[in-house]
């Protein structure tokens, strides 16, 4: 009787294992399927643009959807692509080291009484709407940058093209700074969880060999968590590239390609936000 019960339980465990394995396999294959469907939807939605403009849409620098003489529209997305890439790189330059420092402090160095409040504060910053960041940028960040930061960089590093030109607070540099502030909580939260997942044996091995706290982090924690840290950086980069309202409010929205970081520019999301118009039915409502 006991053997029969044990056999029944073993068969049930085997069925549960097979069911879970099937679910995981389906989930694994769903990822490339979703990616392929996304690429197809993107291609199908842009087919008219590809047929009308070809590669000139990606390399053109003029954006005139409604020419004054009534001719054909001229659409060149290169200035928006350039602005998106530059602002994203600026944000990553500031956000990655700060996010990693926050994650290491919260997971390795923070006293217990400071750890939970600091985690709560970081997660609270991640919940702030982007339009609030944009209003803060217009009211505080833009005047601060135009009065203190931008003139100081022009005065000390103006011989470098990226730090030359006129400054009024609006531009790619300000947009990159506000993006960095927005993506720091995302990067820090993911990096913190990845560092938490590092086995304790890694730390104990370094300490047993006489390593200090800094050496333990450098040689035992960061290399083990490097894959997850890179994933956090990619996640933060995607958040920065897709941000719309805050960037639209502080970048200046001028279609140009300039080496100076202080001149107004535009990004792909800001162009989309400016060009969207409500339909006649929506407007009538």
Per-residue pLDDT tens digits for 223-273: 888 999 999 999 999 999 988 889 999 998 888 888 899 999 999 998 888
Neighbours of 50 (CB within 10 A): 12
Q: What is the dihedral of CA 100, 98, 214, 202, to 10 degrees?
A: -10
One DSSP character per residue, 57-95 reads HHH---EESS-TTS---EE--HHHHHHHHHHHHHHHHHH
Strand pairing report for 74-75 and 63-64: antiparallel
Task: State how far the Cα of 182 lies from the Cα of 193, in Å rounded to an integer.
Answer: 19
Q: Which residues contact 36 (CB under 8 A, 6 or more apart)?
A: none
pLDDT digits (tens, 9 = 90+) for 20-77: 888 888 988 998 999 999 999 988 888 887 887 787 888 888 877 777 776 777 778 8
The model carries a pTM of 0.83
């Amino acid at each position: 009787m006991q053997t029969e019960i044990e056999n029944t339980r073993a068969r049930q465990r085997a069925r549960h294992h097979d069911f879970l394995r099937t679910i995981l396999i389906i989930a694994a294959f769903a990822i490339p399927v979703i990616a392929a469907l996304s690429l197809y939807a993107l291609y199908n939605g842009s087919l008219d643009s590809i047929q009308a403009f070809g590669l000139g849409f990606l390399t053109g620098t003029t954006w005139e959807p409604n020419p004054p003489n009534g001719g054909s529209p001229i659409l060149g997305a290169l200035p928006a692509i350039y602005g998106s890439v530059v602002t994203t790189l600026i944000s990553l330059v500031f956000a990655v080291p700060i996010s990693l420092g926050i994650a290491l402090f919260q997971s390795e160095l923070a006293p217990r009484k400071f750890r939970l409040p600091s985690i709560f504060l970081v997660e609270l910053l991640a919940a702030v709407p982007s339009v609030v960041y944009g209003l803060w940028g217009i009211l505080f960040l833009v005047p601060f940058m135009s009065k203190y930061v931008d003139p100081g960089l022009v005065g000390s590093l103006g011989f470098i093209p990226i730090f030359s030109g006129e400054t009024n607070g609006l531009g790619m540099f300000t947009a990159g700074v506000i993006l960095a502030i927005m993506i720091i909580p995302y990067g820090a939260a993911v990096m913190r969880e990845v560092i938490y997942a590092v086995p304790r044996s890694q730390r104990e091995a370094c300490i047993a060999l006489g390593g200090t706290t800094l050496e333990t982090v450098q040689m035992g924690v960061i290399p083990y968590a490097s894959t997850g840290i890179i994933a956090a950086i990619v996640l933060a980069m995607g958040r920065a590239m897709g941000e719309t309202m805050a960037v639209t409010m502080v970048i200046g929205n001028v279609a140009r390609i300039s080496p100076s970081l202080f001149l107004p520019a535009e990004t792909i999301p800001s162009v989309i936000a400016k060009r969207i118009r409500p339909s006649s039915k929506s407007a009538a409502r």
